[in-house]
Amino acid sequence: MTAVEDILRNSRTVAMVGLSSNPERASNIVARYLKEHGYRIIPVNPNEKTVLRHKSYPDLSSIPVKVDVVDIFRKPEDVPPIVEEAIKIGAKAVWMQEGIKNTGAAALARQAGLKVVQDKCMRKQHIRLFGGK
C-alpha cells in the first residue's frame, strides 16, 4: 500500500495548516471535500476564529486531540517548523499539498517515523483512489 493510500484509508483526523475561511481557496475546497467524506477537520490558522464551523487553532501544539495527518497549505519555506511541530505532537503523517515540496522537512519527518506525501492534493488523491465528486 502506498503512503497516499495508507494515509487516506487509515487516518481520520486532519489538521489543516493554512486553512482559509474563503470558500474559493484551495484549502477550503479540500477541507469541505474531506469533511463530506468522513474526515474530522481541524483548522490551524492564527488569522481565523472558525472555519467550516470548526474552531481554528493558532498552531498544532494548541490542538487538544490526537492528530493523524498534518495537511500543509503553506509555502515550501514555511514547512520545516510545521513538520517539527507535527513530530512533537505525535502526528502519524505529513501531507504537503500540490505545489509544495520541502525535501529537508520530508527527510526529517521520515526519520521521525512519519509517513510523508509531497506535491499532491488530498482531495484529488481521494477521488482517484475511492471515487467521489
Per the listing, cell 471515487 goes with 131
pTM for the predicted model, two decimal places: 0.96
The pLDDT profile of the chain, 133 residues, written as one tens digit per residue, is 899 999 999 999 999 999 999 999 999 999 999 999 999 999 999 999 999 999 999 999 999 999 999 999 999 999 999 999 999 999 999 999 999 999 999 999 999 999 999 999 999 999 999 986 5
Write the secondary structure of the chain as one string of H (helix), E (strand) and C (coil). Answer: CCHHHHHHHHCCEEEEECCCCCCCCHHHHHHHHHHHCCCEEEEECCCCCEECCEECECCHHHCCCCCCEEEECCCHHHHHHHHHHHHHCCCCEEEECCCCCCHHHHHHHHHCCCEEECCCCHHHHHHHHHCCC
Residues composing the chain: 133
Q: Does domain 3-130 have CATH number 3.10.105.10?
A: no
**How large is the angle between the packed helices 26-36 and 122-130, nearest 10 degrees?**
40
